[in-house]
């Protein structure tokens, strides 16, 4: 299975799963993992370059979106690297020792774990940023300064990487899965509460802002909130089966239904990669400024490739 192997190697659960899941097995070609991973990687690199290139996108919200794209890149890079190593090994073009494979697996697991923790954290951060923009519009620039945004970004990455290393080191402990599932649920509840408040009270707040400029600004903020709603929905759809996989490992690791569900783990990984692939399309569709910059970048590389 390409990456996140620590989930499937949890103590004796895996041996039971292997014995009982043969009738439910689903084989997905490694080439599909590689193709989707490469497409996702290119898309997210373009998003990061577009945000860096366009000064109009140099704002806290786009800094957070840029970090979300980097989180998606971690999944893509991990998938591409491990799939290439597996394909080269299968065809006898690369010889690796069990110790090298174990170390590679640990690094890839850390990258993927960092991706999910940082993605959830930045989705919450963007939600909080949109909340401040809508309900504290006049004070937004004093509350969410560039310095504070950079500090938040540094804290999220430091926490994500540290937590991921600890999770992989103690991967055999049930507490690791409990922590991941709990974090997933807490972040979803936090974001849902903010959204409920935003969308229920936004129309009331808009009546209090009579100036045309401010009304337009709030409209832009609501558009950003809707964009994040789409991102969050896609994240839940793509990562949900994986977290359900974790929950079932804790609750029913040996029942026929659960062991059958475990056998579709590769499909869950495909969904995770698809999340990294879909996110850039959402950024581009919802942001005219970002879409314009992406077109300029595509035109630039088209000219370079034709030379």
Q: What is the DSSP string of 193-215?
A: HHHHHHHHHHHHHHHH--SHHHH
Q: Kindly give, in sequence order, each residue whose CB lies less than 8 Å from that of residue 234, ignoring residues fewer than 6 positions away.
A: 275, 278, 279, 282
Confidence of residue 150 (pLDDT cuts 50, 70, 90): very high
The answer to whether 107 and 77 are in contact (CB under 8 A) is no
pLDDT over 60 at 133, yes or no: yes
Q: What pLDDT does residue 12 have?
A: 36
Mean pLDDT computed over 190-196? 84
pLDDT over 90 at 157, yes or no: yes
The span from the CA of 271 to the CA of 257, in Å, is 21
Whole-number mean pLDDT of the chain? 80
The span from the CA of 104 to the CA of 106, in Å, is 5
Confidence of residue 224 (pLDDT cuts 50, 70, 90): low
Mean pLDDT computed over 75-98? 87
Q: What pLDDT does residue 250 have?
A: 87
Q: What pLDDT does residue 300 have?
A: 54
Confidence of residue 41 (pLDDT cuts 50, 70, 90): very high
Sign of torsion over alpha carbons 14, 17, 22, 27: negative
pLDDT over 60 at 32, yes or no: yes
Q: What pLDDT does residue 206 have?
A: 55
Conformational region of residue 11, where left means phi above 0, alpha means psi within -120 to 50, and beta covers everything else: left
SS3 category, 216: helix
The answer to whether 119 and 68 are in contact (CB under 8 A) is yes
DSSP state of 233: H
Q: What pLDDT does residue 186 have?
A: 92
The answer to whether 160 and 118 are in contact (CB under 8 A) is yes
Mean pLDDT computed over 33-59? 90
pLDDT exceeding 90 applies to what percent of the chain?
28
Alpha helices for 136-211 (secondary structure H): 140-143, 146-169, 174-208
Q: Which of 161-165, 177-181, 300-304 has the lowest mean pLDDT?
A: 300-304
Mean pLDDT computed over 26-45? 88
Express each pLDDT in 260-295 by its tens digit. Answer: 888 888 888 899 989 988 988 887 777 788 888 888
pLDDT over 70 at 20, yes or no: no
CA 192 to mean position of chain CA atoms: 18
Question: Of how many residues is the chain composed?
Answer: 307
Q: What pLDDT does residue 158 have?
A: 96
pTM: 0.81
The span from the CA of 245 to the CA of 169, in Å, is 20
Q: Give the residue, 10 or 63, on which the prediction is more confident.
A: 63
Q: What is the Rg, in whole angstroms, of the alpha carbon atoms belonging to the chain?
A: 21
Sign of torsion over alpha carbons 286, 69, 301, 281: negative
Q: Which of 14-28, 147-161, 263-277 has the lowest mean pLDDT?
A: 14-28
Q: What pLDDT does residue 18 have?
A: 42
SS3 category, 18: helix
User: Which domains, from first to last, does the chain contain?
Assistant: 14-305 (1.20.1070.10)
Mean pLDDT computed over 61-77? 92
H helix or E strand, kind and range, residue 77 = helix 60-90
């Amino acid at each position: 299975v390409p990456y996140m192997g620590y989930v499937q190697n949890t103590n004796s659960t895996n041996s039971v799963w292997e014995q009982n899941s043969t009738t439910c097995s689903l084989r997905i070609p490694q080439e599909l993992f590689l193709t989707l991973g490469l497409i996702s990687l290119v898309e997210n690199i373009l998003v990061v370059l577009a945000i860096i290139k366009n000064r109009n996108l140099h704002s806290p919200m786009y800094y957070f979106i840029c970090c979300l794209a980097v989180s998606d890149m971690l999944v893509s890079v991990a998938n591409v690297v491990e799939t290439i190593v597996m394909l080269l090994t299968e065809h006898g073009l690369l010889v690796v020792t069990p110790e090298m494979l174990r170390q590679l697996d640990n690094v890839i697991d850390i990258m993927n774990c960092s991706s999910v923790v940082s993605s959830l954290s930045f989705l919450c951060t963007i939600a909080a940023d949109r909340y401040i923009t809508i309900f504290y519009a006049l004070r937004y620039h004093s509350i969410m300064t560039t310095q504070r945004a950079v500090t938040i970004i540094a804290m999220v990455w430091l926490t994500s990487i540290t937590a991921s290393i600890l999770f992989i080191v103690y991967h055999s402990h049930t507490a690791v899965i409990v922590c991941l599932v709990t974090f997933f649920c807490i972040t979803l509840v936090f974001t849902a509460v903010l959204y409920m408040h935003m969308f229920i009270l936004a129309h009331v707040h808009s009546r209090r802002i009579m100036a045309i400029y401010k009304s337009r600004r709030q409209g832009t903020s609501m558009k950003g909130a809707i964009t994040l709603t789409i991102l969050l929905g896609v994240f839940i759809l793509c990562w949900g089966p994986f977290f359900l996989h974790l929950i079932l490992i804790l609750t029913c690791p040996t029942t026929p239904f659960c062991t059958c569900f475990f056998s579709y783990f590769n499909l869950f990984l495909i969904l995770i990669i698809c999340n990294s692939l879909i996110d850039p399309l959402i950024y581009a569709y919802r942001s005219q400024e970002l879409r314009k910059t992406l077109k300029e970048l595509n035109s630039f590389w088209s000219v370079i490739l034709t030379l």
